[in-house]
Structure 1
Amino acid sequence: MHALGAPPSEPTPADRRRWTRYLVEERAEAHVYQQLAQRRDGEEREILLELAAAEGRHEAHWLELLGGEPARLPRPGLRTRMLGWMAGRFGSIFVLALAQSAEARSPYDAEVYATPAMRADEKVHFEVVRGLAARGRRRLSGSFRAAVFGANDGLVSNLALVLGIGATGVSSAFVLFSGLAGLLAGALSMGAGEFVSVRSQRELLEATRENGHGDASASDLDLDENELALVYRARGMDPDESLDRARRVVGAAKAGMAMHTGPLRTPVADGDDHEIVGSAWSAAISSFLLFGSGAIVPVLPWIFGLQGTPAILLALALVGIALLSTGATVGVLSGGPPLRRGLRQLGIGFGAAAVTYVLGLLFHVSAS
């Protein structure tokens, strides 16, 4: 066995305990990939099953060093248990994103009893899981972008609104009405804006989609002098290939034969573009609902009858928890540090609220 250094001639009890932990972690990770594979099909299913098989090889390595199945096994780590629970129930991109983070922290780099192949496997596993997670991110990018943007905008804008209005000294009923009006106006604006944005982007993509107008007129073109080749060059073909295709299309058309070569595809297929952009209705509905669900949070204290400082403090606490949660979720899905993303969201939200609160104090009015 080749390792980082020559392993001790006689393993210590601490070594055996460490091998046992590796064993249960490898089994748990293999189980995660098997659970995910059950919710996939085609190539993704095969890839996940291959990952599970690789974890099985690592498991066999530690079993061999231990001399067989240990009498007692510790429980897997909390993160691995959580992944297994989620994989069996959701099988979502969220699980793959967490698995990507887990694969990035391999303990084998400093483990003398791990083989070079095992250390290399872990690095490859990270890239494979990242690739699978990237597929899922592309599939949900349109609606997810609208959802996260809508939720955070609702939280921040309505928190800033109710704190700014509340700081002026108006009645609690007025603060509540302002918050609900801001919720409805913002949700409608977000939904309409997102619908127009995504629909416009899809229409732009549609305008770039090739059609058969050039090929349909091919029978009337001159065989040697025509501009059909320019159509193909404009779509991304090189000059020689464009000219060759134009001659074949014109020749076949004049001979009364149809060129069943299928539509010419540019490097990025139209369907892929539309999938990445997402559905206009889906984005609009997501924005409306998520803005509304975010914007209702700062208003809750006033809905339940609180007023003054207690209402403001509770609103800050509720919005703070929500901002930390959405920021951490984005961090997990993007492969970034969840805590840092959560704190960034919190700082932005509370910063905006502080500005409007100070302005409200400057314009303080009588509560009567």
Structure 2
Amino acid sequence: MTPDEPTGTPADRARWRRYLADERAEAAVYRELAARREGEEREILLALAAAEARHEAHWLALLDGDETGIPRADLRTRMLAVLARRFGSIFVLALAQRAEARSPYASDPHATRAMAADERIHGEVVRGLAARGRRSLAGTFRAAVFGANDGLVSNLALVLGIGATGVPASVVLFTGIAGLLAGALSMGAGEYVSVRSQRELLEASAPDPTAREALGDLDIDANELALVYRARGMAEQEAVEHAALVVARVQAAGRVQAPTDALSVIQHDDEAVGTGLSAAISSFLFFASGALIPVLPYLFGLSATAAIVTATVLVSIALLLTGATVGLLSGASPLKRALRQLAIGLGAAAVTYLLGLAFGTSIG
């Protein structure tokens, strides 16, 4: 090969150009996300963008600096860039996590092992950033998704079961509305009690703040504080060393009262628990919104088979959307989660519909 001849086959160079385009687009995504954040998260995202720039330089070097014919990035990466510019949300991080997991570098002979390793670690970095957002959403989001899904499935099952018996459409309509209200109130109340109970359990396990007053008088050689740390999960030797350090610092400073975290070992994540009121409101509203969908055909005057088919189609679309949303936020396949949600929901509704048919036939 002469110095003027390009390296690689035409197929290789086409692939390198695709990689180059994707690396540039991914770096742009991380920079867009960084622009919407500050502090540590901003620094992490900018470091990821810099790493993608190193990969970009690798492919550009193989192309001998020739940037002609560089294609557009793949559709997924371009969509990520658009979402990052407009939203900069946890959805983008969840999608970026999946994108990093699809890297082909591990099997490409022209990518270095370091680049393949980078991509795997990038996935874990993005997973960690996305986890922060997931924790902040966990309590309310769980209530919202479960509430909407329960409303869709339970009221569709109720409406189909009653409708299958052959009763007038007005009876089905009022049955659906009653199911909406009863279910929404039940979900809201249940979620409030559940979250409040969880918070109360965590609070009961938290250290008594008044116990800190005794730390300044403890015997540093016969340290009872070590028992506190052992009771909270520390190994014996680690508990002894940590207790001695805490008491020594308290006594050396001449303080009677220790720092507020002196008795703590495990910090509870209150964000992941959420608040009882917000969870209750989310459950009520989302259950009601989900339960309203099967009733809509009857509100608009449809009846019999037309109403049943329309309700089933509308609920199916909603189930696919909620399943895909859960998949996106969890970093899993949106399609698989959507189809799973659809199968579960329609399966439950089918059972009640068949029961309604059987009951209607028996009384007919």
Letter in 2 for 1:275: E
Q: TM-score, normalised by structure 1?
A: 0.88
Q: Does 1:291 align with 2:276?
A: no
Residue 24 of structure 1: aligned partner:
21
Indicate the SS of the match to 1:269: coil
Deviations 1:203-261 (A, max 9, x none): 111111212333335688899889666545434554634764796599689xx742443
- CA change 1:250–1:89 in 2 (3 A) is closer
Residue 92 of structure 1: aligned partner:
89
More deviation, 66-75/205-214? 66-75
Q: C-alpha distance in 1, partners of 2:224/2:265? A: 22
More deviation, 258-267/33-42? 258-267
- CA change 1:260–1:167 in 2 (3 A) is same
What is the aligned counterpart of 2:360 among 340, 364, 367?
Answer: 364
Preserved contact between residue 151 and residue 180 of structure 2 (Cα < 8 Å): yes
Residue 269 of structure 1: aligned partner:
267
- CA change 1:246–1:135 in 2 (3 A) is closer
Map residues 132-171 of structure 1 onto 2, 5 A cutoff: 132-171=129-168
Q: Does 1:344 align with 2:340?
A: yes
- CA change 1:218–1:57 in 2 (3 A) is closer
Letter in 2 for 1:176: L
Q: Does 1:187 align with 2:184?
A: yes
Indicate the SS of the match to 2:72: coil
Deviations 1:283-335 (A, max 9, x none): 11111111111111111111111111111111111111111111122122222
What is the aligned counterpart of 1:300 among 296, 310, 314?
Answer: 296
- CA change 1:215–1:67 in 2 (3 A) is closer
Map residues 186-265 of structure 1 onto 2, 5 A cutoff: 186-216=183-213, 230-231=227-228, 233-236=230-233, 238=236, 240-241=240-241, 244=244, 257-265=255-263
Q: Which runs of 5+ in 1 are unaligned?
A: 1-7
Q: Does 1:328 align with 2:324?
A: yes
What is the aligned counterpart of 2:60 among 40, 52, 63?
Answer: 63
**Matched pairs, number:** 357
Indicate the SS of the match to 2:202: helix
Q: C-alpha distance in 2, partners of 1:65/1:225? A: 67
Q: C-alpha distance in 2, partners of 1:114/1:250? A: 55
Letter in 2 for 1:359: L
Letter in 2 for 1:276: A
What's the offset of the Cα at 1:78? Answer: 1.2
What's the offset of the Cα at 1:338? Answer: 1.9
Deviations 1:110-147 (A, max 9, x none): 32222222222111111211222222222211111111
Residue 128 of structure 1: aligned partner:
125
- CA change 1:55–1:162 in 2 (3 A) is same
Preserved contact between residue 13 and residue 63 of structure 2 (Cα < 8 Å): yes
Q: Which runs of 5+ in 2 are unaligned?
A: none
Indicate the SS of the match to 1:27: helix
Preserved contact between residue 157 and residue 352 of structure 2 (Cα < 8 Å): yes
Residue 99 of structure 2: aligned partner:
102
What's the offset of the Cα at 1:9? Answer: 8.7
Preserved contact between residue 151 and residue 289 of structure 2 (Cα < 8 Å): yes
- CA change 1:246–1:83 in 2 (3 A) is closer
Residue 311 of structure 2: aligned partner:
315
Residue 353 of structure 1: aligned partner:
349
Residue 3 of structure 1: aligned partner:
none
Letter in 2 for 1:296: L
Preserved contact between residue 170 and residue 365 of structure 1 (Cα < 8 Å): no
Identity across matched positions, percent: 66
Map residues 37-56 of structure 1 onto 2, 5 A cutoff: 37-56=34-53
Preserved contact between residue 160 and residue 352 of structure 1 (Cα < 8 Å): yes
Q: C-alpha distance in 2, partners of 1:133/1:251? A: 42
- CA change 1:250–1:180 in 2 (3 A) is same
Q: C-alpha distance in 1, partners of 2:185/2:150? A: 13
Preserved contact between residue 327 and residue 344 of structure 1 (Cα < 8 Å): yes
Preserved contact between residue 153 and residue 294 of structure 1 (Cα < 8 Å): yes
- CA change 1:216–1:116 in 2 (3 A) is closer
- CA change 1:278–1:194 in 2 (3 A) is same
